[in-house]
């Protein structure tokens, strides 16, 4: 059987859950994408719970590929239409780097955990400022 259990490779944290809640992909799809890219041969798992049939698994993979392609085309289209300019791309890249640092720090220093809601407030403020729509 095929498993998309979060414990197979991808460790979901409060911070990851925050981003998963607000993105285009489901938690199961994020697990599949992560495992396919980061853990070769991860589709076959000995974990008995959260199993799905091979047909369901490959349907999910197909949906993930389609959504991913659509996401890339959307980014390119928005960039071509200048809906996302170079400053915005730079801001997004800085945001990713900062969230990554915070995430790593939270994994190693439990005493200084940053609350996901604090990060949400900052990200929403940044999005409000860069959003042209």
Among 68-72, 103-107, 108-112, which stretch is predicted with the lowest mean pLDDT? 108-112
**Which positions ≥6 away from 39 have C-beta within 8 Å?**
8, 9
Read off the tokens for 101: 């640092």
Q: If you average pLDDT over every residue of the chain, what do you get?
A: 79
pLDDT of residue 49: 42
* pLDDT at residue 43, as a whole number: 45
Q: Which of 75, 57, 60, 2 is nearest to 29 (CA)?
A: 60
Q: Is the pLDDT of residue 75 over 90?
A: yes
Q: Per-residue pLDDT tens for 17-49?
A: 888 888 999 999 998 888 888 875 444 443 334
Q: State residue 72's pLDDT score.
A: 96
Which pLDDT score is estimated for 9?
58
Please check the confidence at residue 116 and state whether its pLDDT lies above 70. yes
Give how far Cα 26 sits from Cα of 7, 43, 107, 117, Å. 16, 17, 23, 20
Q: 99 pLDDT exceeds 90?
A: no
Instruction: Give just the sign of the alpha carbon dihedral 90, 93, 98, 101.
Output: negative
pLDDT of residue 100: 85
Mean pLDDT throughout 113-121?
Answer: 74
Question: Distances from the Cα of 89 to the Cαs of 35, 82, 100, 126, 130, in angstroms?
Answer: 27, 11, 16, 12, 10
* pTM as predicted: 0.70
């Amino acid at each position: 059987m095929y498993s998309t259990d979060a414990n197979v490779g991808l460790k979901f944290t409060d911070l990851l859950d925050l981003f998963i809640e607000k993105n285009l992909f489901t938690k199961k799809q994020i697990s599949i994408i992560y495992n396919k890219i980061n853990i070769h041969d991860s589709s076959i798992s000995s974990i008995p719970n959260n199993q799905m049939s091979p047909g369901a698994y490959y349907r999910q993979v197909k949906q993930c590929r389609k959504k991913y392609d659509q996401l890339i085309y959307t980014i390119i289209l928005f960039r071509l239409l200048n809906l996302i300019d170079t400053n915005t791309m730079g801001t997004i890249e800085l945001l990713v780097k900062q969230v990554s640092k915070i995430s790593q720090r939270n994994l190693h220093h439990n005493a200084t955990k940053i609350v996901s809601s604090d990060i949400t407030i900052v990200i929403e403020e940044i999005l409000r400022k860069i959003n042209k729509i």
